[in-house]
Amino acid sequence: MKLTLSGLTLAYPGQPPVLNGIDLQIESGETVALMGANGSGKTSLLLSLVGILPASGTIRLDSTALSKKTATFFRQHIGMVFQNPDDQLFSPSIWEDVAFGLENMSLPEDEIRDRVDTLLHELGLAHLKDRTPHDLSGGEKKIAALATVLVMKPDLIMLDEPTAFLDMRARKRLENALRDIPQAMLITTHDARFAARMCRRAVLLDSGKVAADGETETLLRDKALTERCGVDALE
């Protein structure tokens, strides 16, 4: 799997562009942190990659370019975990929520059952499968939201602020779950230490442009760069 973005631009009429000529490549198995100040275009970039926001420029997954016709293909191969798990979990039970994506993929019922049960067991959520999402703690909701995407076995998983609102224990549990994921990941975060622990590579955005792309530790120790991009520096 190779995701290639060239000249990605997104603008709303009468406003400065949210994304301004982004060039980026993500290879199979890579974990990349996408960092920047609030409003720098992180979430917009993620939503553009699955065709939710109509950006100009080219987005390619291997040799397939994103278009209206291929949007479904992209959504099957690129999964997105939203910042607020309440937006992601909308079914009456966790089991049904995790099965939702597979049902849309038209898989046979037996396979859906197998995949959902196995994943819930692996993530330690099996005992919660019949619970309504509202009953879960913040940490459990985050893991459940991750499960809804993991079960579809995408090539790239995008996580929007995965550690937001989590306490230390829930963060560790989420980190452990993320470490076991073999797929490529694109993680937006404001948490510099989390980014340094999880991602070897970071991309820093500033006003819709890529301000820096390189090794996470190196970039986040550059005080001038982090100051300019509005992200926390590593101590």
Partner 1 sequence: MKQPAPASLEQCALQNGPIHRIDPALKLLMMLAFECCVISCAPEQICLLPVYLVALLIIGTIARISPGLFFRRLALALPFAFFTGIWGCFYDHYPATLMGFTITRGELSFLSILLRTALCVGCVLIYAGTTRISMMAAGMRRLHIPQEIVSIFELMWRYLSVLTDEARNVRTAWMLRNGSANGISLKYFGSLLGGILVRSIDRAQQIHTAMICRGYPAASRAASPSKIRPAECIGAAAFTASCILYRVLA
Residues that bind partner 1 (CB under 8 A): 47, 50, 52, 72, 75-76, 79-80, 82, 84, 86-88, 90-93, 95-96, 99-109, 112, 130, 132, 134, 148-149, 152
Cβ at position 71, least distance to partner 1 in Å:
9
Q: How far apart are CA 113 and CA 50, in angstroms?
A: 26
Q: Which is nearer to partner 1, 70 or 76 (CB)?
A: 76
Q: Which is nearer to partner 1, 50 or 184 (CB)?
A: 50
Q: Which is nearer to partner 1, 148 or 216 (CB)?
A: 148
Cβ at position 38, least distance to partner 1 in Å:
17
SS3 for 3? strand
Cβ at position 164, least distance to partner 1 in Å:
14
Q: How far apart are CA 186 and CA 30, in angstroms?
A: 8
Q: How far apart are CA 95 and CA 129, in angstroms?
A: 5
Q: Which is nearer to partner 1, 7 or 138 (CB)?
A: 138
Q: How far apart are CA 228 and CA 180, in angstroms?
A: 33
Handedness of CA 154, 183, 156, 151 (dihedral sign): positive
